[in-house]
A = this chain, B = another copy of it.
Amino acid sequence: MARSIHVRRPATLASLAAELGVSRTTVSNAYNRPDQLSPELRRRVLETARRLGYPGPDPVARSLRTRKAGAVGLLLTENLSYAFRDPAALGFLEGLALACEGAGQGLHLVPVNPEREDVAAVHRAGVDGFVVYSVPDDDPHLAAVLSRPVPTVVADQPNVEGVDQVGIDDHAAITALAQQLITLGHRRIGVLCMRLSRDRNDGFASPERQRSAHFHVQRARLAGLAEAFGAVGVDWSGVRVVERFDHTTASGASAAAQLLDADPQVTALICTSDILALGALTEARRRGLRVPQDLTVTGFDGIADADRVGLTTVRQPVLEKGRAAGKLLLGAPDPTRPREVILDTELVPGSTAAPPRTSEERWFGP
């Protein structure tokens, strides 16, 4: 099967029509509305098309005319390839892909460089709508998406007025987790969180920085923790929160190290993601700290690896979230009000949380 490489498109609908001595409309109909012409003529059109090497109507021209691209754009602030490495993002993507293929829509991954503020790729994407996955509220790419006259659904964050949304109740979810730890008796805690803003800050996050975080999800989780622990008398300004820009287990490990160095007395490390928590577990093991006897570690998301190691965490239905986002975008838009889908979360007890040891136990063993 030989084929010429990248030949200039040889035939168009018009040239085909000329060759056949019929109108362009008729050729178009041969492809799109077979009932509009006689079977015999249609056969001739298709036959001539084959002979001339006409590959069928040009998709771009068709899109221009019909105002339909047949694809959904996906925007995420990380590198494109990040989506294929992060388990939660992956689950979301799978759900979204499910919804798209169910509707016969393509999935157009928009390449954005998180470092540069180059918004051109958003403007170049020929899509019928956008799904925006977990970006900061001041993301210029998001602004570019919103400026385009196509429907948009935001997943997780940020909250944008008038835009359809799918996510979870972060505040409630983290509150349940916090209650669990409080019940176990933890009062001296440390927190590991993901990036709070577009600027890199690998280190402690001040309460001010926590409050002004541009990532709504992180902000809500931290606020929920502050509230829950504040209610039992913990002074939040004394609680160390370590932030990491990169979302990897290595980041989690180094963040845990930083926190444990600063305050060896903490009895629990609360992590705002499983990935960070897995890293924290590694660091704990490296230090000879037994989990959960010497240290409690919790995560968030409920990824497969968390399940494997029995991490105490909050499970959120990431695949369902992706699917819901797709359905929201592809379903009939509701002009009266933006729609919001809040999915359920579930506290996963796991085996990495236990009551804190007393000081004596810490020094002299159980």
Contact = CB atoms under 8 A, between A and B. Distances in A.
B101 A151 contact: no
Interface in A73-90: 79-81, 83-85, 90
Given A70-B124, A105-B111, A60 B63 contact: yes
A151 B5 contact: yes
B60 A60 contact: yes
B6 A333 contact: yes
Contacts of A58: 64
Interface stretch (A92-100, A183-191, A256-264): A92-100
B60 A81 contact: no
Contacts of A333: 5-6
Contacts of A124: 59, 62, 70, 106
A160 B1 CA distance: 7
Number of copies: 2
Contact of A84 (B1, B8, B10, B94): B94
Interface in A177-207: none
A365 to B, nearest CB: 33
Interface stretch (A141-149, A168-176, A222-230, A239-247): A141-149
Nearest to A85: B94
Given A80-B101, A147-B55, A338-B5, A106 B125 contact: yes
Contacts of A110: 106
Q: At the interface, is chain A mostly helix, strand, loop or mixed?
A: loop
Given A124-B106, A126-B126, A163-B3, A69 B79 contact: no
Contacts of A331: none
A16 to B, nearest CB: 14
Interface in A1-36: 1-10
A90 B80 contact: no
Interface residues on A, range: 35 or more
A110 to B, nearest CB: 6
Given A60-B64, A85-B94, A150-B6, A69 B104 contact: no
A46 interface: no
A362 interface: no
A37 interface: no
Contacts of A8: 149
Among A70, A91, A100, chain B packs the most CB atoms within 10 A around the CB of: A70
B162 A5 contact: yes
A84 B93 contact: yes
Nearest to A159: B1
A95 B4 CA distance: 27
A44 interface: no
B93 A79 contact: no
Residue in A84, A100, A125, A162 with the greatest tally of chain B CB atoms within 10 Å = A84
A1 B64 CA distance: 29
Interface of A: 1-10, 55-64, 69-71, 79-81, 83-85, 90-91, 93-95, 97-98, 100-101, 104-113, 120-121, 123-126, 146-151, 160-163, 333, 335, 338
Listed from nearest, the 6 A-B pairs whose CB atoms lie closest are A101-B111, A84-B94, A80-B97, A107-B109, A81-B97, A70-B124
